């Protein structure tokens, strides 16, 4: 395991690229360029499928393109060897990298990538509303679960108190109820 990064001085290397907020803007730009160059060294655009989808992606945004990662990539890059990736150049942030996969397994790119991009577009109100609704549903489900657990706990406690404080009469005729064992009548 690597030793923790020295955060006592600005520009100290961090776990994530460009994670230092106290760097001068020209240094941040240089780090972003280096990060982008490292990614581009480990991918290829010389793939027919990648070229086809790059043309379609650039109709959405000229900063998006599809690449295929080489079979060996640097371990500290967000790339999966042999997989297709969507790269997005961001003006004021590091390059975004999205892996094309299906349930974490290799998948050829198809129209699903446009659905994924549409679901992740936080500029559209319907996407933000859907995310807020999912969050609300999860919160309500958690509240219902908590309320149900409290009700079950209250019922259990009520049964425990009743069993400890109330005398109970057996409805079974084989053992008739008496105040004490001395008062039992022979049959």
pLDDT at 141: 94
The top-scoring range by mean pLDDT among 63-77, 142-156, 166-180 is 142-156
Give the model confidence (pLDDT) of 112-148 as tens digits: 888 777 776 666 677 677 778 888 999 999 999 999 9
- Percent of the chain exceeding pLDDT 70 equals 75
Average pLDDT score, the chain: 80
Mean pLDDT, range 171-176, rounded to an integer: 68
More confident residue, 42 or 169: 42
Q: Which helix (DSSP H) or strand (DSSP E) does residue 43 occupy?
A: strand 43-44
pLDDT at 127: 67
Sheet with 96-99, side-by-side order of all strands: 43-44, 64-69, 84-88, 96-99
Sorted by where each begins, the domain ranges of the chain are 25-111, 120-160
Beta pairing, strands 101-102 & 96-99: unpaired
Please name the residue ranges forming H helices in 61-124: 112-119
pLDDT at 8: 42
User: Quick check: 29 pLDDT over 90?
Assistant: no
Kindly report the number of other CB atoms within 10 A of residue 50's CB atom.
Answer: 21
Contact 20, 10 (CB under 8 A): yes
pLDDT band at 75 (very low <50, low <70, confident <90, very high): confident
Beta pairing, strands 101-102 & 105-106: antiparallel
pLDDT band at 107 (very low <50, low <70, confident <90, very high): confident
The pair of three-digit structure tokens given for residue 81, joined into one six-digit string: 């060897």
pLDDT at 171: 67
């Amino acid at each position: 395991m690597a030793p923790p990064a020295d955060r006592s001085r600005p520009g100290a290397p961090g776990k994530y690229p460009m994670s230092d907020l106290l760097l001068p803007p020209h240094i941040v730009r240089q780090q972003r360029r280096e990060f982008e160059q490292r990614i581009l060294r480990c991918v290829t655009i010389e793939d027919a499928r990648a070229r086809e989808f790059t043309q379609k992606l650039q109709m959405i945004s000229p900063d998006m393109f599809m690449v295929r990662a080489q079979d060996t990539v640097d371990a500290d890059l967000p790339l999966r060897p042999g997989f297709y990736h969507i790269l997005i150049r961001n003006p004021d942030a590091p390059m975004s990298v999205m892996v094309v996969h299906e349930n974490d397994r290799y998948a050829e790119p198809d129209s699903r990538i446009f659905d994924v991009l549409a679901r992740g577009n936080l500029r559209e109100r319907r996407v933000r509303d859907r995310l807020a609704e999912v969050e609300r549903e999860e919160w309500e489900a958690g509240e219902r679960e908590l309320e149900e657990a409290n009700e079950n706990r209250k019922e259990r406690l009520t049964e425990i108190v009743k069993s400890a404080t109330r005398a109970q009469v057996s409805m079974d005729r084989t053992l008739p109820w008496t105040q004490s064992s001395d008062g039992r009548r022979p049959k």
